[in-house]
Amino acid sequence: MEIFQQLTFLERGIAAGLLIGFISPLIGAFLLVRRMTIISEGLSHVTLTGITAGVLMMQTSAVFAFINPLYTGLLAALAGSLLIEKLRQVYKHFQELAIPIILSAGVGLSAVMISIAETGYTEWYAYLFGSILTVTLSDLLFIFLTGVLSMLIIGFFYKELLSISFDQEFASTSGISVRKINFLFSLLIALVISMSMKVVGILLVGALITLPVAAAILFAKSFRHVLLLGIIFGEAAVLGGIVSSYYLNVATGGMIVVTGIIILIGAAAVKKLLPEGFFSKEETA
């Protein structure tokens, strides 16, 4: 805690960005294997619903004045991820319907509550598109704690998460509790989205989860390589975006995503220039 207190506002933003750039590709890799990368878009809008609810609660009663909207956003993201899993069970043959249903509900509720809240444009802009200048000490502490929790979950349940991501039926017959691990994975997604919103922004967090992994898979020989390269590309996108946004005086979240797109385009160009078969795929995870 004392270390965080010594950081300047810019250093807090950079530290938060580096944490997010490290963890987001990890979740993106598992979502890629599950072919569920679009889930981050739906949950980001549900997270906005939680944030607007938190802001309204702060404004309507002094009892809730202590509430940090990041925490209500986390609860909304967790509830949304669990609801998506439930809807995927209800629509077994049309599971893709779960995402647009949740996304639509999130956008609609957010729009209504934003119109009611007595909040300026600047605050909502920071939540929607991110701003490292608005990262407070409590925000950085929240990002750090959620990041540590995410890493602990991945570390302790890596094999189970990997097994279920590749083949849920095999994992079930192997004695793995699919429902328990899916709940933990839902918690992971909620944690990553909620911790990323202040730096990248709610509308852009899905890009930071997806773009580094999309670049990594072009070169990776195994799932572990996807994780490693995804982290490298994610950190490069965050650092490049923060530096360029500082000198260009533009939105940090937007520049992080633009940098991620540039990295992806560069990776695709390099892959095309290399001789065919230069990167041979391995089946091991």
Q: Please write the tens of the pLDDT for every residue from 92-140.
A: 777 667 778 887 888 888 888 878 876 666 667 777 777 777 777 877 8
Nearest residue to 8 (alpha-carbon basis) of 159, 136, 147, 168: 136
User: Whose structure tokens read 């909304």?
Assistant: 76
Using CA atoms, how far residue 143 sits from 61, 89, 242, in Å, is 26, 32, 17
- 104: helix, coil or strand? helix
> What percentage of the chain carries pLDDT values higher than 90?
8
* pLDDT for the residue numbered 85: 74
> What percentage of the chain carries pLDDT values higher than 70?
89
Better-predicted residue by pLDDT, 284 or 191: 191
- 114: helix, coil or strand? helix
Tokens found for residue 219: 């070169």
Better-predicted residue by pLDDT, 216 or 177: 216
* pLDDT for the residue numbered 237: 92
Distance of alpha carbon 212 from alpha carbon 3, whole angstroms: 29
267 touches 233 (CB < 8 A): yes
Mean of pLDDT over the chain: 80
Q: State the chain's maximal CA–CA distance in angstroms.
A: 65
Under 8 Å CB-to-CB from 175, ≥6 apart: which residues?
A: none
- The letter for the amino acid at 119 is T
- 130: helix, coil or strand? coil
Can you give the pTM of this predicted structure?
Answer: 0.80
Top CATH class of 2-204 equals mainly alpha
* pLDDT for the residue numbered 276: 64
Domain ranges of the chain: 2-204
pLDDT tens figures, 206-256: 888 889 999 999 888 888 888 999 999 999 999 998 888 888 888 788 888
* pLDDT for the residue numbered 283: 47
Residue 272 CA neighbour count, 13 Å, CB half = 6
Distance of alpha carbon 162 from alpha carbon 277, whole angstroms: 26
pLDDT tens figures, 28-64: 888 888 777 677 777 777 888 888 888 888 877 766 6
Better-predicted residue by pLDDT, 65 or 58: 58
Q: What is the DSSP code string of 213-240?
A: HHHHTTT-SSHHHHHHHHHHHHHHHHHH
Q: What is the DSSP code string of 258-270?
A: HHHHHHHHHHHHH
pLDDT over 80 (residue 27): yes
Using CA atoms, how far residue 141 sits from 16, 19, 47, 148, 250, in Å, is 9, 11, 19, 11, 25
Under 8 Å CB-to-CB from 120, ≥6 apart: which residues?
A: none
